[in-house]
Structure 1
């Protein structure tokens, strides 16, 4: 579908200058190539338990130390506040969690730490609840569109391939749109990964208008009666207005086809940069209707608390998480399993 010739960059052993062990683009490519193993339902819980090890160990050890005494005292609330902030829950989320926790133990007159820690867990679960919209009209005869956005270096392109593979396993036909036309390596990477995993890619030459690539991709998906179209976009800084305007142009092109129908706009965020992810999300949300988030790099950070800020401060649901390099290291975000693994309380 894309007959673009390989550029010089496609022959190199790296797709980016970054040499990060977890999310290096080329390493992601190799892991995607060598991984075709499907994680079974029985492995789902162990996936969360093992992959969140870094964040979990930091938080779990802190929680155990805080609730180590048999009886509650004022010290607990001070230490809890420090732990939440260090784990990047953010000021607003931390204050909200502590307020709900204090009210709950006061209402039930709880004085024992063993009971209090279970109540604390319930408060965390409440923080991850968002009222789902019910007015989502999906066109039955049109491909379902997912526009994926985010800044540079969050693992967006490889996340898109993981997302596409996930839907393929559900029996859906998927096509990718290479709307990152600024970097030849980005197009090459998506095309090559598409070939490896049997996913069609629509692309144009380097420097083409990204909106025109999206337009052609939608037409191609309609023509071939594809179930899902996933659009890759160039990484862009959230504080660069002209880049945000380009995303808005792409969004307008999609709206021409989907005047009354619902489509997704997923924001990919890096858990490793903590509250900076929240700031990014605020800018993107001010300009686009972000419908969901995908959190990457949860396997190598102690800042898993940023998820609570995304839910509470921005009211953006987290739909998927990536916790590794393999193509199977991609799962639907399950808040209960996440909390269980995070706290190590079952």
Structure 2
């Protein structure tokens, strides 16, 4: 992974629309054509809003032609995007890949989706996922299985496998996913794209169908570090009215920081950065080609100036069990709202007598 800013398909597409070299409608039409070509094999999308996307693109093109300064300044100007199906989208099916929510059409956009649109991005469709985010292969969707576009005999990872596959297949240049215990980072890795789980609260969770609320995060998936940074910068930020846990700190200009780092660092932009490599993570249950790829990435980081240090996490084998204690207890509480069932024992108080049910 290089700290250079290119190639950056998302940013390049937005700049092409801004300069008039290509229209937003052309980008959307190309994305829909590519989707039609690969969707039968990949299965990345649960729904596609093609007509609405074209209409939005035409509106953007009109404003660009008029020289509207506000429109021309938008960072994601006219670029089609994927949105994971556990993020609410106004008037558009939002199922979290579950039959429980089949037919549900929210009356509002999730804050991250709203910011995506305000930044000029166009929601092309809702991407497949493991049901309610509970899975790591995108094979537990109630509607379809998503396959890895790099090799359709393999899984794309999960639970944001649809978003990662849509980017890897070249349908969209960026997509929103969600990460509770790896659900952005892992499918991005499996599909050979870039995924980031931001700091908790960096993005508002309003409109996100919850899994485990103490670790749920919305995160960007793109084909380059620069594009991931641009997408994160567009959708991050406070949300005082919608999510009290969203950070009320200014959002850095991640794109400018990347350019500054590339310009000042020369051939060694990671100089002064320390990177820990977990010893136990590369010892057991790791396929040789995966270990080789990780080693190559470590060597690349070192060549770019990073100080690589081996660290030990002896309790690593217990981490998964600890995660599930938290995640599944929170999930049971969150899922209870959908059908009225309550998990565990509940006490009712009647006068001087407690009745355990």
Asked whether the two chains share a fold, i.e. TM above 0.5, the reply is no
Could you tell me the TM-score, scaled by structure 1's length? Answer: 0.28
Could you tell me the TM-score, scaled by structure 2's length? Answer: 0.27
Higher RCO by CA contacts (8 Å cutoff, separation 6 or greater) = 1
**Which one has a larger percent helix, Structure 1 or Structure 2?**
1
